[in-house]
Structure 1
Amino acid sequence: MSMGQHQSSKSADLAQIITSMHRAIPELHGVMIASVDGLAVAHDFPEADAERMAAMAATALGLGTRITERTRLGTLAEAVIRGEQGYLVVYSAGTDAVLVLSGPIDSNLGLMRIEARVAAVEIKQILGQA
């Protein structure tokens, strides 16, 4: 398998995770897999919002990680941002990736957490970090 085919396969696998998240939680506004450097890897957000969302997610992950370390809370499990209109939930997906879910205020946060934990493990496997 050539490097291009391998990369294409990873992209398809990541896109499948996004599709599966929407199947499990139809009300989601968007799902993104981004690098910890703030670059969008795979997503279904509008293109105009993607890079900004990726940068903010990486920042939220970094800040959440520092807070949990400095306050001796252990390893960061998730960062949840709740606004009047909805949620943005950020998960670590290995050492190189961030998983982001955006949903309306009436989203089932418990289901988002369950599905995101499963997806984060799958993302780590796809990116070769399992």
Structure 2
Amino acid sequence: MTKEAVLAELDVLREQVPGVLEAVVASADGLLVAADSEGSRPEVLAALAATTLGLGRRAGYEVGMGGLHEVVVRCDRGYMVVYALREEGLLAVVADEGLDIPALHAGVGPTVERLADVLAEV
């Protein structure tokens, strides 16, 4: 899958889940792979998402909860949700306050699997 295919996956996610504003795919260490972004600096978002994912993994490990799937950050005006793409990377989704979290989780599953496969090939 090429960068264009990754961007197509992100476009589909934005179309299918109301409230999604932007998304980035990055390596586990925060290096940007691709971004569907209009408002933020995608390189900064990728780095922050990697840090968020790392903290979530560590917290899950410390409390004995097993492997991390996602971290949800809820703010006054919206959300940032970071999904683990296996150990290889992450998908960070920025959404407005109207986001339906269960709809996002339901819609993102196949996208996460396809993107994880892409990063595993690199």
TM-score, length basis structure 2: 0.90
Q: 1:114 to 1:48 in 2, by over 3 A?
A: closer
Return the structure number with greater strand share: 2
Alignment equivalent of 1:112, drawn from 81, 99, 104: 104
- CA distance in 2 between counterparts of 1:26 and 1:43 reads 18
Which of 8, 26, 30 aligns to 1:38? It is 30
Asked if 1:103 is matched to 2:95, the reply is yes
Q: Structure 2: give runs of 5+ residues left out of the alignment.
A: none
Unpaired stretches in structure 1, ≥5 consecutive residues: 1-8
TM-score by length of 1: 0.85
Give the whole-Å Cα distance in 1 for the aligned partners of 2:13 and 2:119: 18
Please point out which of 2, 10, 14 is paired with 1:22.
14
Change (3 A) 1:58 1:44: same
Structure 2 CA distance for aligned equivalents of residues 24 and 47 of structure 1 = 20
Say how many residue pairs are matched: 121
1:47 CA displacement: 7.7
> Which residue matches 1:3?
none
Letter aligned with residue 70 of structure 1: E
Q: Is the 8 A contact 1:27 1:103 kept in 2?
A: yes
Q: Share of identical aligned residues, percent?
A: 26
- Cα offset for 1:48? 5.6
User: Could you say which structure has the larger radius of gyration?
Assistant: 1
